[in-house]
Every structure is written in C-alpha cells, then in structure tokens.
C-alpha cells in the first residue's frame, strides 16, 4: 500500500534573445522563474520508515553574449 503523496507542480522557464548588432547577440535564460519547490521522485524504505526524494533545481538565470564574424 503506497501512502506517499506527491503534490503537483508547474515550472516556468523563459528565454530571450536580442540581436545587438551584426554578429553580436545577447541571450537571457531563466529556469524555474518562480523558484517552485518541485520533487520529481520519492523512494521509501519500509524497513526504517524514511523516504528519500530528488528535488528540481531552484531558480537559475544565465546571460550570454555571442559574437560571430
């Protein structure tokens, strides 16, 4: 009998790209914008009563500049 309940969640990611000039592009990438706590797996051990879970990464933001000749 499985008594573990895992609540649902929604992750929101965003990506923006902007051409600054010929050959120069800036990008902004944001993952898990709202910093949602998300559990993807729950494993239990009936012998000791403890459960282990794997969480998704919290909010991450990256900026990139790319130049092509």
Number of H helices, E strands in the chain: 0, 5
pTM: 0.72
DSSP letter for each residue of 3-22? -----------EEEEEEEET
The confidence score (pLDDT) of residue 27 equals 98
The confidence score (pLDDT) of residue 34 equals 96
The confidence score (pLDDT) of residue 35 equals 96
**DSSP 8-state secondary structure symbol assigned to residue 17:** E
Mean pLDDT by 10 residues, the chain (69 residues): 77 97 97 93 73 90 96
């Amino acid at each position: 009998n499985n008594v573990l309940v895992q609540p649902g969640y929604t992750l929101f990611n965003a990506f923006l790209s902007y051409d600054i000039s010929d050959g120069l592009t800036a990008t902004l990438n944001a993952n898990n914008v709202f910093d949602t706590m998300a559990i993807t797996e729950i494993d239990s051990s009936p012998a000791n009563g403890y459960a282990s879970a794997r969480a998704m990464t919290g909010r991450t933001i990256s900026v990139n500049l790319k130049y092509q000749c």
